[in-house]
Amino acid sequence: MEGSIDIGLVVTIGGIIFSVAGAAAVAQSQIKNIVEMLHDLEARYRTFDQRLDKGHTQIETQSQKLGVLAKMMDPSNEAARHREMSNIITRIDRAEKDISKLITMHNGKHPKVE
């Protein structure tokens, strides 16, 4: 029976086909699960990435604010501000003395103009 197909061979081939079909179904199911897990991981990754970007932006903003404050509090800037304030105070004191002198010069009465 060299050219003939016996029942054992058909059963064996049928078993192999069913095994391959079952393995393909299992593989398809596992691939579907893996794809779903991949989508979930991608969504989580995007959320973490957004949070990281927001944190990075906040850090950069705070760093810029700190730089501005550091420049404002620089000793050379402080010295210049103190000199300016001293000059302003001196000018105010002088203006008050001049005003006081002008007030004492004026008797507060105006003659009638006819």
Let me know the angle formed at the C-alpha of 105 by 103 and 111, rounded to the nearest 5 degrees.
95
pLDDT, tens digit only, all 114 positions of the chain: 466 778 888 888 888 998 999 999 999 999 999 999 999 999 999 999 999 999 999 999 999 999 998 888 888 888 888 999 999 999 999 999 988 887 777 666 666 777
CA distance 22 to 78: 81
Where do the structural domains in the chain lie, given as residue ranges?
A: 9-73, 74-104
3-state secondary structure at position 107:
coil
CA distances from 3 to 6, 15, 50, 112 (A): 10, 21, 68, 147
Torsion of CA 58, 61, 62, 65, to 10 degrees: -160
